[in-house]
């Protein structure tokens, strides 16, 4: 196994999607935050891999597709239980209700620190997708002491179960503090800071963590801020087709990390992340994102031309030869 520079850690699922207004029903699509985050990163690096667990019924051809596109799957462990599954019910491609299939397999299919230790990997950066917060903290500490750059997205406060609001908030603040890049969705983090609007919220998060913060605003784009002594920058969405918004936020987070590793520029990284998200939402499912690097780079370049200071950022939009030949 060849060690990768960037790893994404999270869940791989098989989901069924219903879009009633379009009368569309699709069953057992390969999805999950580990897949969408890694696909977002894949558009900006050839050096990424996935750390996750899959059920015994997970389609092997999906892993083959990922490997052929250059994503490492060596750290995906197969477990002798059925895969995690969700029903996703979309209304107007904006509001989603998700219903997990009744399953005792959450713990068995959540990647653990033991999986990581056994893999003997030493990446320069990791993205920890939404999982139980204790698991996220354990994994973040493991990589942090080994010098890796740590990017984290979090679950909603409601998911931090069996804890008082005070304890849950304290855990979330610890998660923010340990991260180098914190990339929550506004809808997931709003209850933690109910007294703030989005601009006040991102400033408060930056004060807690003194890190790079990406606050994802859904159809309103995102806010990006580097350390508490800078002002947040609004990054608009890239207008286009919206067929299935599932995974857009995760694709954004994975892409931001990959671009940040290459550039250390928050505006350029956010433009790359926005481009990845715009590709993710164009079709139902996620695997269609594979090998669309040229599209992503073109969209990010166009977005950067609309943002102040873009000309001073450099590097990542120079197309790799394999996509430019």
List of long-range contacts for 64-73, beta carbons under 8 Å, 24+ apart: 65/287, 65/290, 66/38, 66/290, 69/42, 69/290, 69/291, 70/42, 70/46, 71/38, 71/42, 72/1, 72/2, 72/4, 72/7, 72/48, 73/49
Instruction: From 131, 137, 145, select the one nearest 52 (Cα to Cα).
Output: 131
Question: In this predicted structure, what is the pLDDT of residue 288?
Answer: 96
Mean pLDDT of the chain: 87
For the four alpha carbons of 271, 4, 109 and 284, in that order, the dihedral sign comes to: positive
Homologous superfamily (CATH) for 6-309 = Ribokinase (3.40.1190.20)
For 163-211, write each residue's pLDDT tens digit. Answer: 667 787 888 999 999 999 999 999 888 877 888 999 999 999 999 998 8
Where are the domains positioned within the chain?
A: 6-309
Q: What is the mean pLDDT of residues 112-127?
A: 89
Q: What is the mean pLDDT of residues 62-70?
A: 97
Q: Are 213 and 200 in contact (CB under 8 A)?
A: no
Beta strands in 115-177 (DSSP E): 125-128, 149-152
For 23-49, write each residue's pLDDT tens digit. Answer: 677 788 899 999 999 999 999 999 999
DSSP structural state of residue 80: S
Beta strands in 161-259 (DSSP E): 181-182, 212-216, 222-226, 233-235
Beta strands in the chain (DSSP E): 6-9, 13-19, 24-31, 48-55, 76-79, 84-91, 95-100, 125-128, 149-152, 181-182, 212-216, 222-226, 233-235
Question: In this predicted structure, what is the pLDDT of residue 284?
Answer: 87
For 154-163, write each residue's pLDDT tens digit. Answer: 987 666 655 6
Cα 136 from Cα 130, distance rounded (Å): 8
> Sheet of 181-182: strands edge to edge?
76-79, 48-55, 6-9, 125-128, 149-152, 181-182, 212-216, 222-226, 233-235
Cα 277 from Cα 295, distance rounded (Å): 12
**Residue carrying structure tokens 């699509």:** 29
Task: Report DSSP letters for 84-98, one per residue.
Answer: EEEEEEEETTTEEEE
For 286-296, write each residue's pLDDT tens digit. Answer: 999 999 999 99
């Amino acid at each position: 196994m060849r060690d990768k520079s960037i790893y994404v850690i999270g869940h791989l699922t098989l989901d069924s999607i219903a879009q009633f207004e379009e009368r569309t029903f699709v069953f057992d699509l390969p999805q999950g935050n580990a897949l969408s985050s890694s696909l977002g990163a894949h558009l900006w690096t050839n050096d990424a891999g996935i750390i996750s667990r899959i059920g015994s019924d997970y389609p092997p051809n999906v892993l083959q597709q990922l490997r052929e596109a250059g994503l490492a799957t060596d750290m995906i462990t197969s477990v002798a239980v059925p895969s995690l599954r969700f029903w996703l019910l979309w209304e107007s491609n904006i509001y989603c209700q998700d219903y997990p299939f009744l399953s005792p397999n959450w713990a068995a299919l959540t990647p653990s620190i033991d999986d990581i230790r056994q893999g003997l990997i030493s990446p320069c950066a990791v993205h920890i997708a939404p999982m139980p917060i204790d698991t996220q903290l354990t994994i973040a500490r493991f990589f942090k002491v080994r010098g890796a750059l740590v990017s984290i997205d979090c679950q909603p406060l409601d998911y931090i179960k069996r804890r008082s609001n005070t304890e849950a908030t304290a855990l979330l603040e610890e998660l923010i503090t340990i991260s180098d890049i914190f990339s929550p969705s506004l809808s997931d983090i709003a209850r933690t800071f109910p007294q703030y609007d989005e601009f006040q919220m991102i400033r408060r998060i930056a004060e807690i963590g003194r890190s790079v913060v990406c606050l994802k605003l859904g159809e309103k784009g995102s806010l990006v801020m580097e350390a508490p002594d800078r002002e947040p920058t609004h990054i608009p969405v890239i207008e286009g087709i919206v067929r299935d918004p599932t995974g857009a936020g995760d694709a954004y987070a994975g892409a931001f990390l990959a671009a940040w590793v290459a550039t250390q520029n928050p505006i350029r990284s956010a433009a790359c992340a926005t481009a990845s998200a715009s590709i993710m939402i164009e079709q139902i499912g996620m695997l269609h994102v594979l090998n669309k690097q040229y599209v992503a780079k073109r969209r990010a370049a166009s977005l950067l031309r609309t943002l102040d200071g873009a000309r001073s950022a450099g590097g990542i939009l120079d197309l790799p030869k394999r996509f430019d030949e």
